[in-house]
Amino acid sequence: MVICMFRLSCKSMMFRVISKGRVKSPWIFHLNTGSCNGCDIEIVAAFAPRYDLERFGCLLVGSPRHADVLLVTGPVTRQMLPRLIRVYEQIPEPKVVVAVGTCASSGSPFLGSEMVEGPVDRIIPVDVYVIGCPPRPEAIVKGVVTAVKSKFR
Amino acid sequence: MTAERDVEREVEVEYTRLRIPFGPIHPALKEPVLLRVSVRGEEVVDVDMALGHVHRGIELLAEGRNLIQTLYLIERICGICSHSHTTCFIQALEEIGGITPSKRALYLRTLIFEMERIHSHLLLLGVIAYEIGFDTLFMFTWHVREKILDLFEKITGNRIHHAMNTIGGVRWDLTPRMVEEIDAYMREVEKSVKYIHNVFMDGTVEKRVCGLGVLSYDDAVKLCVVGPTARGSGVDIDVRRDHPYAAYDELKRDFSVVVERGCDVYARTEVRILEIFESINIIRAILDRLPDGPIRPKENVFRLMRGIPEGEAISLVEAPRGELLYFVKTDGSGGLKRLKVRTPTFSNLIGLKPMLIGCEIADVPVIVASIDPCLSCTNRLIVIDQERGESNVIDVDSLRHRVRRRWMRQ
Amino acid sequence: MDAAVAFITSFPLVLVVSLLFEGIDRKIHARMQKRIGPPIIQPFYDLIKLFNKERIIPVTASTRVFEIMPMIAAAASILGASILLSNTLSGLGMIGDLILVMYLLAMSSIALMVGGLASGNPYAAIGFSRKMSMMIAYEIPMFIAIISVAFGPPAVLTIDRVIKFQISTRLPLAVSSLSMASAAATLLLCIPAAASVVPFDIPEAKTEIIYGFLIEYGGPYLALAKIAKAVSNFTLTLLVSVVFLYIPSLLGEEALINLGISLSICLAVSLLIMFATITVPRTIFARLKIGQAFKFYWMLPLALSILSIILSVIGL
């Protein structure tokens, strides 16, 4: 019994340590699927000195293999559709997807275009939507932190 | 032939404007364009470009919407030069409808225009610094840029898409307190940009940007490049001076066109830095001479929209990246028959090939960044269906039908 | 302290200290860029996360090589660091000399390169060729500088003898003679390239070739690669601080008695060296191109190292 309890507590502690590590170091891969650049520059602005996402341990990585969080901007265009799926598959588990901007969340002004394959959640599962055109960097920071906390904890 | 093939390795460099990661990237500013770069060792021997990753069919969408809806749609063509797009579009509409905006409205349009130029150029300087691995300079430029964004927020309520223009004028006015604030901010920005200029003349940066990506004067003229890319190669063109619009006619004496004859990445960077100073001069002149009056007509904007007759017009502005051209054809009942946009990056991208051939792989990102490509602007020109791996061109009418069908469905 | 005990205790010590060093480096880097920066223990969080991620092996990779190389890299660099640290820790003779440490360092980076190449990614191939040429550029001056220690006043290569020599002269080696000063300078100049930080991060340039040979590594493999890099950076700085700038030698024989104090002084010195040779360059420089970096290393550090060996042979 005691041993069993001990094991259980060990396990839960391990689990807590792991989830702490995951929450504290979300590495971000940013994919532009036909955005107008507005969201993209706001994401980069979130890494710039005023908002500094790195204080939460976030890093902007260049390879999906290193990433935990996928930030998708833009209403998925036809040419970017296979690439979006491929990038999503290349990110190792566990991962979260954050749709940044109204285009990515609902397709907004581009809805109805022949070239747009609809909002992101039609193609891959999305965990957090950050609405705004473009969302402020604070909102993006909040979105990333919320996504990581809700999924990795 | 086969022996030669063996020597050459084909490497696909998916350039993403950062990187970041732009990333950067890059990492940082990421815009998808596929550059197929053939290299021998580290040297680039051939370049091919694949565009259309950001093609959203905006021109077609615009034909199904009314003018006011289109105004907000074309603002979403590009997040960096959104004000240039709307100004260009509105100018064409005003020409068709015979509407003359008030002096104050024109001055305010010009003010936002120049602020946007400063913001865009600072952004690009940051990206260039990032591409050459100089993170600190990137951080510093983007820190300065935040000040301009603050001003945007104070004047228009938005950081990126300002939604400033409306038919016959602008939507937001300046208060006397704002004028003082803009003046104070401009002083700060000028000081910081001077510092950035110094850093760009520093040894390590110079090593990475001097003598690279050479586009000779003849090539620049032949390939019809525009904007700072042309001015960096010694071509003296600027829409603001050559075909004045908005309030530039009255501000002619307050700025000069910056032309550099270096033809390389450094020259193009230098043009942009010096243009920031010119823009600050223009803003100061505007604040000095801001005329009084209404900022827009009293009539409802929808009535104005319906009053625009059938007709067509071409409009030109000097966007931060160069000459932006709109062809607008209205149908007389508040809608559009045809919209055609020719963005500066489309002209400039052709210039990339002579720049890139013969350079090293390490130089590709910084050279591509040096023309300041805005691919979300460029990618609206292709009508290609890529299902089943074939690319066959659909004619515009059938596409239009399909769009309508889909629009109804949703 | 017993030599074997010292050797075993130095394993975890090396890991903790080198990751802390990386955290401090990141924090200072961020502060210099007007940012707040990540917490100092950020590298630990990163590692915990990475070790618990999915393992993905690309289809193009040759699986065995791809899997095993990060382990070899991490093991080699940890072993190198432990040899160095346990010599400082125990004050007794330990197996291993400077050449072995240098060899383990080189092996760690070569293992990573080979593993990256095995992934079959074209970027990794470019990274491999770039790292190869960079190694030719910086390893030669580094080795010559280390060998000049054997020709110079200490006339030994075993680490504990070098330490004891410094204690007996009551002077750090770099200050004691002209030849050793130039050897130390060579090593300091080579550290940014060996640690591959800006301006010499050419093999893993993020905006050019997206981390080069690390591009396909993810999860636990990336964690091992990160450990290998952090530990080898720490080893390089510790090498300079122990061999050339052994400040505790000013205390004389007491340095061998109060080992704790002398160890902490050594670590402080190596932190300073890390600040000067890794943090500062990566903050204030832009990335060089491979040709420019090559030219730099074959001009200044090579000349300095040859100067040091000539001076030490003629006994200056």
Show me where the domains of chain A are located.
26-152
Show residues of chain C in contact with B18, CB under 8 Å. 207
Average pLDDT over residues B124-139: 84
In the predicted model, what is the mean pLDDT of residues C262-272?
Answer: 87
Domain-wise residue ranges, chain C: 3-313
What is the average pLDDT across B268-294?
Answer: 89
pLDDT tens across C13-51, in order? 888 999 999 999 999 999 888 888 899 989 999 998 888
Task: Tell whether A112 is within 8 A of chain C (Cβ).
Answer: no
pLDDT over threshold 50, residue B388: no
Interchain proximity A22–C35, CB inside 8 Å: no
Q: In the prediction, which pLDDT does B24 show?
A: 23
Interatomic CA distance for residues B155 and C259, integer angstroms: 65
Give the pLDDT of residue C24. Answer: 92
What tokens appear for C75 in the block?
A: 């093991």
The mean of the pLDDT values for chain C is 83
pLDDT computed for residue A1 by the predictor: 61
Q: Check CB contact of C11 with chain A, cutoff 8 Å.
A: no
Q: Please report, to the nearest 10 degrees, the dihedral formed by the alpha carbons of residues A64, B361, B120, B90 taken in order.
A: -90
Q: Measured between CB atoms, which of A24, A54, A62 is closest to C35? A: A54
Structure tokens, B318:
């000097």
CB A43 within 8 A of CB A30: yes
Looking at the structure of chain B, the number of domains it has is: 2
Domain range A26-152, CATH architecture: 3-Layer(aba) Sandwich (3.40)
Neighbours of B, requiring at least 3 CB pairs below 8 Å, are A, C
pLDDT tens track for C185-220: 888 888 888 888 878 887 777 666 677 788 888 888
Specify the pLDDT at position C21.
Answer: 92
Calpha distance B86→B73 (Å, rounded):
9
Q: Which amino acid, C316?
A: L
Mean pLDDT of B20-24: 24
Enumerate residues 6+ apart whose C-beta is below 8 A from B308.
B67, B93, B96, B97, B167, B330, B332, B334
Task: List the structure tokens of B240.
Answer: 């603001």
Buried b (16+ CB within 10 A) or exposed e, B372-398: bbbbbbbbbeebeeeeeeeeeeeeeee
Please judge whether C126 and B135 are an interchain contact, meaning their C-beta atoms are less than 8 angstroms apart. Answer: no
Phi, psi of B211 (to 5 degrees): 70, 15
Measure Cα distances from C188 to A153, B352, B410, C228, C244 in Å. 44, 40, 65, 20, 10
Q: Are residues B87 and B233 in the same domain?
A: yes
In chain A, which residues have their Cβ closer than 8 Å to the Cβ of C218?
Answer: 63, 65-66, 92
Direct distance between the N- and C-terminal alpha carbons of chain B, in angstroms, rounded to an integer: 54
Predicted complex ipTM: 0.83
pLDDT value at residue B36: 66
How far apart are the CA of A90 and the nearest CA of chain C, in angstroms?
Answer: 8
Specify whether B212 is located in the same domain as B192.
yes
Which of B339, B361, B396 terminates a domain? The answer is B339
Within B157-261, where are the H helices? 176-200, 203-209, 217-222, 227-231, 239-242
The helix-helix angle for C178-194 and C122-151 (nearest 10°) equals: 170
Of B320, B339, B358, the position where a domain reaches its end is B339
Whether B91 and B235 share a structural domain? yes
For the beta carbon of residue B180, count every other beta carbon within 10 angstroms: 11
Q: Which domain holds residue B251?
A: 68-339
Mean pLDDT for B132-153 is 87
- Model pLDDT, residue B385: 36
Average pLDDT over residues B155-173: 86
Query: Does B61 map to a domain?
Result: no
Cβ B76–A80 below 8 Å, yes or no?
no
Residue B292: count of CB within 10 angstroms of its CB: 7
Residue B59 lies in a domain: no
pLDDT at B17: 29
For residues B286 and B300, membership in a common domain is answered with yes
Q: Average model confidence (pLDDT) for chain B?
A: 77
Answer whether A30 touches C (CB < 8 Å).
no
For C119-172, where are the alpha helices, taking DSSP H only?
122-151, 159-169
* Chain C residues with beta carbon closer than 8 angstroms to that of B365: 207-208
Task: Please report residues of A whose CB lies closer than 8 A to that of C48.
Answer: 17-18, 20-22
Structure confidence by residue, pLDDT tens digits, C66-122: 888 889 999 999 888 888 888 776 655 566 788 888 888 899 989 988 888 888 777
Q: What is the CATH number of the domain that holds B149?
A: 1.10.645.10
For residue B60, being part of any structural domain is answered with no
Task: Answer yes or no: do B176 and B275 share one domain.
Answer: yes
* CB half-sphere exposure, A37, CA atoms < 13 A: 28
- 10 Å Cβ neighbour count for C98? 22
Q: Hey, is A54 helix, strand or coil?
A: helix
Question: What is the pLDDT confidence band of residue A41, given thresholds at 50, 70 and 90?
Answer: confident
pLDDT 10s digits, B355-371: 877 777 777 777 777 77
Contacts of residues B184-189 at CB distance under 8 Å and 24 or more positions apart, as own/partner, are B185/B147, B185/B148, B185/B150, B185/B151, B186/B280, B186/B283, B186/B284, B188/B147, B189/B118, B189/B144, B189/B147, B189/B148, B189/B276, B189/B280
User: Are the C-beta atoms of B25 and C207 separated by less than 8 Å?
Assistant: yes
